[in-house]
Each structure stands twice: as C-alpha cells, then as structure tokens.
Amino acid sequence: MRILGIETSCDETGVAIYDDQQGLLADQLYSQIKLHADYGGVVPELASRDHVRKTVPLIQAALKQANLIAADIDGVAFTAGPGLVGALLVGATVGRSLALAWNVPAIAVHHMEGHLLAPMLEENPPQFPFVALLVSGGHTQLISVTGVGQYQLLGESIDDAAGEAFDKTAKLLGLDYPGGPMLSKMAERGDGERFHFPRPMTDRPGMDFSFSGLKTFAANTIRQSGDDGQTKADIARAFEDAVVDTLAIKCRRALEETGFNRLVIAGGVSANRALRHKLAEMMKQRKGEVFYARPEFCTDNGAMIAYAGMIRLKAEESSPLELTVRPRWPLEQLPPVVYY
Ligand code: KG4
Ligand code: ZN
C-alpha cells in the first residue's frame, strides 16, 4: 500500500509517499520561514496563500522523486487539524480532491498523532506501551500511549507551549522567528552557572506545565544584566536548562505513574540536543529507552502524515467526501485503531 501524505497545518508544506513494504519513497518540504520572518511570527493568511502555491508542485516533485505516477497511489492522507484553519483547508482540499479523482480512499490525519508516530519511521521503532512527550510550537503534552489511537492525556501546558516559549524568549534575545533552534545554538556557548531560571510547577504534584513565566523571567534578566553577546548566551543557556529540566521532571513523573519504561519525544522541540541528551541520560539510569525521530522528522513534515494515514487506512478507516478541518482537535478523541 502506497500513501501520499500532505501536511499544511502551519508554515511548512510537506509532501511524502510512504510504502508499507518499502518504507519512505519520497519526501518533499518547503518551509515558509523566510516569508514570515519579517513579521516575527506566522501570518495565517500569507501561510494559506503560500500553501496554495506550493502543494501541487510538491506533490508532482514527490511522484517524480519516487518514480511513480498517480495510478500507483493507493490512498491520500492529509492533515485535518489541529492548526491554522486556512492553512489546513489547502492541504485537506487538495488531498481530498485528488483521492476522489484517483478513486482511492482519503484519510484525515491528526497532526499531533503524526508527530507522535514519527519515531516509528526510524530504524529502532518504539513498541507499545510508552509515555509520549509532545513538544511543538503549539503543544506540550504528556500522553500515556497503549496503542495507535489509545491515548490518555497525563498533563499539558496551561499557557505557552514549550516551542512557543523558546520562540518568544529567542525574540527577546534579538533572534529571528522561529528562534528555538537559534536560541539552542546560542546556549551552547553560555555559562550554565551564571543565571538560574525557575522550574515552573515542579514544586507541586501533577504533570501540567506552565512556560509563560520563563519569558518574563528572561525579560527581567535582560533588563538587569544587559544584552551583550555573552550575557545573551548565558541567558539562553539558563532558559534552555530550565525548560529541559522541567520537561524531564514531568517525564519522570509520567513514567512513575504509568509504570512504562519507554519514552517517546516528538514535535519540533524534540530536535533540541540538550533535551535529547538529558532524557537519554535519564532513561539510561532508569534502564529504559528513549525514542525520537531524526531532526527533520521532529519538525513538521509530510512523512509523518503519510505514515499515520497509512496505519489508519490499513485499519479500514477513511474520511468522507464532506470535508471538515479542526483547528482544535483533542488527541484523545481519535478512535483506537483495530487491526484486522
Ligand atoms: O512541530 P513543529 O515543527 O510545528 C508545530 O507543530 O508547532 O514545531 C516547531 C517548534 C518551534 O517553536 C521551534 O522553535 C521549535 O519547534 N524547535 C526547537 C528546535 N527545533 C525546533 N526548539 C528548541 N530547540 C530546537 N532545536
Ligand atoms: Zn507540528
């Protein structure tokens, strides 16, 4: 079974073709970062218009890369939420229409399920059950995962997502959107001893997060200590340490609560080297294992959507012609996958 996957939920147009026997056959990505950089964040209307320009050419490029024609595709998966409504509508409309024209089933994919399953595209895929830490620009969630579609939310951010906190703090440090990866790079030359940022909500039980206070803490630190190059790097380091530590503390709680010894991290922030390192150390101590995708499959991409769509299409799920996208869509509302 060969599935075309289309991702247009935010500022990346991703298209991929996944074959259940041969694996990934094509993977195309166009990032709109430059388009939005002047505005310091994603401008939804510009994002939608750019997806309109890029989606079809990327599908053609993916078919060419895989040396396939339309008749070789057995199903079309598209991101139907959560995300920006206009952006979602582009991929969903193109995907649903192509499936109709090609007379193959279509499947609406949950963007966060795509992220959650992305580590399964790697060589050593995680087995169920596991704890998943989803950390992206819009979400920070801890989930108990007992199978595909069997998700129990253990905790989530009550305000900013981890990626959002990275981006807002990066902006304060004078970095362009999306500043997360650049802040992380800056932190590498920072002194971890100079500043100490709080670890929000770790002094009480529970697995929820709050990251919005950290950007205020960063703003105050900049005001008091200046913003020369080394100070900025020291602040970046203290901020990153605080986020990574906080995520690790809550992951540990989730592992203790569920009794699982596998941890999956996914979403854009799971590309962060300090986070990967910290969680790898923690899991080594616990005699468990941590799983993550290669960096380009941590951030938004078409491969994870093709893969998640394939699992659901194989379970004989499909989406009707009537098109719905869901800017908000709780992960737990997904039906469990029943294998035939
Ligand atoms: O998953 P993603 O590509 O898009 C959403 O679904 O939101 O995540 C993007 C987020 C951005 O906030 C970006 O700054 C952050 O992931 N990010 C990182 C790193 N790479 C991406 N944050 C920290 N360190 C990184 N290396
Ligand atoms: Zn994402």
Return the DSSP state at 262. E
Omega prior to 82 cis, within 30 of 0: yes
Q: DSSP 3-state assignment of 12?
A: strand
- 198 confidence band (pLDDT: 50, 70, 90): very high
Cα of 172 to ligand 1 centre, how many Å? 17
Ligand 1: atom nearest CA of 138 is 7
Name the residue at shortest CA distance from atom 23 of ligand 1. Answer: 180
For 93-111, the pLDDT digits (tens) are 999 999 999 999 999 999 9
Ranking 66-70, 148-152, 176-180 by mean pLDDT, the lowest is 176-180
DSSP 94-146: HHHHHHHHHT--EEEEEHHHHHHHGGGGSSSPPPSSEEEEEE-SS-EEEEEEE
Q: Which residue has the tokens 């990934």?
A: 24
Q: What is the pLDDT of residue 22?
A: 98
* Ligand 1 in reach of 180 Cβ (< 6 A): yes
Burial of 102 (0-12, 13-18, 19+ CB in 10 A): middle
Cα of 9 to ligand 2 centre, how many Å? 8
- 339 confidence band (pLDDT: 50, 70, 90): confident
* Ligand 1 in reach of 163 Cβ (< 6 A): yes
Mean pLDDT, residues 303-316: 98
Mean pLDDT, residues 162-186: 97
Cα of 136 to ligand 1 centre, how many Å? 5
Q: What is the pLDDT of residue 217?
A: 98
Specify whether the CB–CB gap between 173 and 183 falls below 8 A: yes
Name the residue at shortest CA distance from atom 8 of ligand 1. Answer: 268
Ligand 1: atom nearest CA of 9 is 6
Ligand 1: atom nearest CA of 184 is 24
Cα of 101 to ligand 2 centre, how many Å? 28
Instruction: Name the helix (H) or strand (E) containing 263.
Output: strand 262-266
- When the pLDDT of each residue in the chain is averaged and rounded to a whole number, the result is 97
Q: What is the pLDDT of residue 340?
A: 58
How many Cα neighbours within 13 Å face the side chain of 339?
A: 5
Mean pLDDT, residues 253-268: 98
Beta-ladder partners of 290: 263
* Ligand 1 in reach of 267 Cβ (< 6 A): yes
Cα of 300 to ligand 1 centre, how many Å? 9
Cα of 253 to ligand 2 centre, how many Å? 24
Written as one letter, the residue type at 318 is: S
pLDDT > 80? residue 127: yes
pLDDT > 80? residue 318: yes
For 261-277, the pLDDT digits (tens) are 999 999 999 999 999 99
Specify whether the CB–CB gap between 169 and 162 falls below 8 A: no
Strands 75-81 and 2-7: parallel
Specify whether the CB–CB gap between 13 and 53 falls below 8 A: no
Mean pLDDT, residues 85-100: 98
- Non-local (6+) Cβ contacts of 309 within 8 A are 3, 5, 75, 76, 77, 78, 107, 109
Structure tokens at 282: 């923690």
* Ligand 1 in reach of 178 Cβ (< 6 A): yes
Specify whether the CB–CB gap between 141 and 156 falls below 8 A: yes
For 7-38, the pLDDT digits (tens) are 999 999 999 999 999 999 999 999 999 999 99
Q: What is the pLDDT of residue 272?
A: 98
For 178-195, the pLDDT digits (tens) are 999 999 999 999 999 999
Ligand 1 pocket check: which of 9, 36, 136, 275 to mutate, most ligand atoms within 8 Å of Cβ? 136
Mean pLDDT, residues 54-79: 98
pLDDT > 80? residue 144: yes
